[in-house]
Amino acid sequence: MEQILDLETDRENQTAGPSGRMHLGGNDLTVDAGRVVLDGTVVGYLYENGFLRSAREQTEDDEDPDTGQWRLVDDLEGCDFQGTTQDGLPLSLPGPSSPGPTGSLSYNGRDYQVMQGRISNAQHKILGEYYGGGRFVLRDARTNTERRSLDEGSVINFSFAGTASDGRDLSEQYTRPLYRDQISYHENEIIRYFQDFDRLDQQQRDYVIESMRIWAASGILQIVRKKEGNAALGNVKHGAAGVTRVRTGMVDLDAEEFERDIDLCARFGPLAVITTRVPSYVEVRVNLVVSHEFGHQLQFCLSQAAQDRIDELYQARLARSIAKFPPPSAYDGGSELVHADQVMHREFISGYAKASVFEYWAESVAAFSFKESRKLLRQLDPGIFSILEQVVFTPEKVMSAVLCEQILNLQASLRFGGEFGKNLLD
Ligand SMILES: [Zn+2]
């Protein structure tokens, strides 16, 4: 009974136990969620990272594999395991990479343990393998992929201290080219993207970081930046690239508009209702020029099917907008204008989103970038909201096929580094 209680405690602590078959001491054993069973009796406990405890050797201080009666499967003659982890990926122990280095890994500031090349967290859940020299292979349960090899585009800052498999000291430190040491991946990536960042004042910096945070932390910004280019303050009026669909690559932001949006955003938030030249008509404005322009770049990275879907959503809204809110005769612009009491019933997240499918997308990307306007976009336009959610969480469904492998490798790295998780949009 004491043993069973102890094993239940292990489960409450969310320690990770695999399921499968194990060979040990000439016996063929069943492993069920970590419990090692022989002839119907629990004889031990196995963790995903290869720690094994015999139930018979149990002592009072054996909770902790570092001090208790635990062995590594690597150290037991003729011991191996074949099965699956709790998240359903195949697992072989000791594993194909063994023996690898052993020591402490800090990846983007997150601490992990490496045992004979197997990387695990504090709950002994296996997350991948480390071979030394910056060579990581990560397990990606989200896409059901057992091995994702990281390359220079996906490895982020890390340090390792321990011993190589031959016993010599191994100490490694890696900082990405052009990255700064003391700040997070997403801030580094935003600084790389926004060329004039160091010349901005604090309010402007906060605005740029908040505008781009979800795109940077999910890895989408890095992929788009590498394909399309950076952003810089210039004097090109916004919208030029989108309206004409001319490929400019890099984004030039109008400095005046940048300053005005920051001011409006600080005073009214990401969305503002403004008066127009036409008496009694108002227009909703998204005050997010940086993420708007990024949205134009992002559109070039979407699959054709996703672009077609966006076009359908736009055409349906355009038809309804023209029927419900016909443009006043005194107005020759392309924005959706409404009376003040109709603002909550408008078709487009902003007036300007009506101008073309490209502006519709860019304004939606912009609104999605800030928490406050993202909530409203979800209510007002669930169709476009769902595509934007897919860009972040299931990019393989909506991004151009040639980019998907890079994105998924990078996202696996960012999850591992604690930059990117399910709660990014909360
Ligand atoms: Zn635009």
Instruction: Say how many Å lie between the CA of residue 305 and the centre of ligand 1.
Output: 21
| DSSP per residue, 66-87 | TTSSEEEGGGSTT-EEEEE-TT
Instruction: Say how many Å lie between the CA of residue 192 and the centre of ligand 1.
Output: 22
The type of residue at 28 is D
Instruction: Say how many Å lie between the CA of residue 422 and the centre of ligand 1.
Output: 29
Instruction: Say how many Å lie between the CA of residue 361 and the centre of ligand 1.
Output: 9
Q: Which residue has the tokens 């605005």?
A: 207
Instruction: Say how many Å lie between the CA of residue 239 and the centre of ligand 1.
Output: 3
| DSSP per residue, 34-45 | TEEEETTEEEEE
Instruction: Say how many Å lie between the CA of residue 193 and the centre of ligand 1.
Output: 18
Spatial CB neighbours of 293, under 8 Å, sequence gap ≥ 6: 231, 238, 241, 251, 253, 362
Instruction: Say how many Å lie between the CA of residue 397 and the centre of ligand 1.
Output: 24
Instruction: Say how many Å lie between the CA of residue 285 and the centre of ligand 1.
Output: 13
Terminal C-alpha separation, the chain: 43
Please give the structure tokens belonging to residue 342: 């109709």
Task: Determine the average pLDDT of the residues in 85-98.
Answer: 87
- Report whether pLDDT(66) > 90: no
Instruction: Say how many Å lie between the CA of residue 347 and the centre of ligand 1.
Output: 18
Instruction: Say how many Å lie between the CA of residue 296 and the centre of ligand 1.
Output: 7
Please give the structure tokens belonging to residue 305: 């099917």
Cα–Cα distance measured from residue 198 to residue 96, given in angstroms and rounded to the nearest whole number: 46
Instruction: Say how many Å lie between the CA of residue 243 and the centre of ligand 1.
Output: 7
Q: Which residue has the tokens 């490929």?
A: 247
Please give the structure tokens belonging to residue 26: 């000439």
Instruction: Say how many Å lie between the CA of residue 389 and the centre of ligand 1.
Output: 20
- Summarised one tens digit per residue, pLDDT across range 233-270 is 875 544 444 444 445 577 888 888 899 999 999 999 99
pLDDT at 7: 45
Instruction: Say how many Å lie between the CA of residue 136 and the centre of ligand 1.
Output: 39
Distances (CA, A) of 141 to 154, 251, 388: 17, 35, 22
pLDDT at 242: 45
Please give the structure tokens belonging to residue 401: 């096929």
Instruction: Say how many Å lie between the CA of residue 238 and the centre of ligand 1.
Output: 6
pLDDT at 56: 63
Give the distance, in angstroms, between the CA of residue 28 and the centroid of all CA atoms in the same chain. 41
Cα–Cα distance measured from residue 373 to residue 350, given in angstroms and rounded to the nearest whole number: 11
> Looking at 4-18, 91-105, 380-394, which range is the least confident one?
4-18
Cα–Cα distance measured from residue 54 to residue 24, given in angstroms and rounded to the nearest whole number: 11
Instruction: Say how many Å lie between the CA of residue 258 and the centre of ligand 1.
Output: 13
- Report whether pLDDT(12) > 60: no
- Summarised one tens digit per residue, pLDDT across range 317-343 is 999 999 999 999 989 999 999 999 999
pLDDT at 10: 47
- Summarised one tens digit per residue, pLDDT across range 36-50 is 999 889 989 999 999
Instruction: Say how many Å lie between the CA of residue 154 and the centre of ligand 1.
Output: 30
Instruction: Say how many Å lie between the CA of residue 196 and the centre of ligand 1.
Output: 20
Instruction: Say how many Å lie between the CA of residue 250 and the centre of ligand 1.
Output: 13
Instruction: Say how many Å lie between the CA of residue 141 and the centre of ligand 1.
Output: 37
Q: Please say whether the beta carbons of 160 and 103 come within 8 A.
A: yes
Q: Please say whether the beta carbons of 47 and 34 come within 8 A.
A: yes
Instruction: Say how many Å lie between the CA of residue 187 and the centre of ligand 1.
Output: 24
Instruction: Say how many Å lie between the CA of residue 353 and the centre of ligand 1.
Output: 9
pLDDT at 8: 44
Q: Please say whether the beta carbons of 142 and 415 come within 8 A.
A: yes
Helix (H, G, I), strand (E, B), or coil: what is residue 286? Answer: strand
Q: Please say whether the beta carbons of 326 and 340 come within 8 A.
A: no
Spatial CB neighbours of 145, under 8 Å, sequence gap ≥ 6: 89, 139, 408, 412
H/E run at residue 119 = strand 118-120
Instruction: Say how many Å lie between the CA of residue 357 and the centre of ligand 1.
Output: 10
pLDDT at 232: 83
- Summarised one tens digit per residue, pLDDT across range 203-238 is 999 999 999 999 999 999 999 999 998 888 875 544
Q: Say what the pTM is.
A: 0.90
Q: Please say whether the beta carbons of 380 and 386 come within 8 A.
A: no
Q: Which residue has the tokens 């090692």?
A: 36
Cα–Cα distance measured from residue 103 to residue 113, given in angstroms and rounded to the nearest whole number: 6
Percentage of the chain beyond pLDDT 70 is 89
Instruction: Say how many Å lie between the CA of residue 249 and the centre of ligand 1.
Output: 14
Instruction: Say how many Å lie between the CA of residue 359 and the centre of ligand 1.
Output: 5
Instruction: Say how many Å lie between the CA of residue 120 and the centre of ligand 1.
Output: 45
Cα–Cα distance measured from residue 320 to residue 317, given in angstroms and rounded to the nearest whole number: 5
Cα–Cα distance measured from residue 359 to residue 195, given in angstroms and rounded to the nearest whole number: 24
Instruction: Say how many Å lie between the CA of residue 25 and the centre of ligand 1.
Output: 68
Instruction: Say how many Å lie between the CA of residue 302 and the centre of ligand 1.
Output: 17
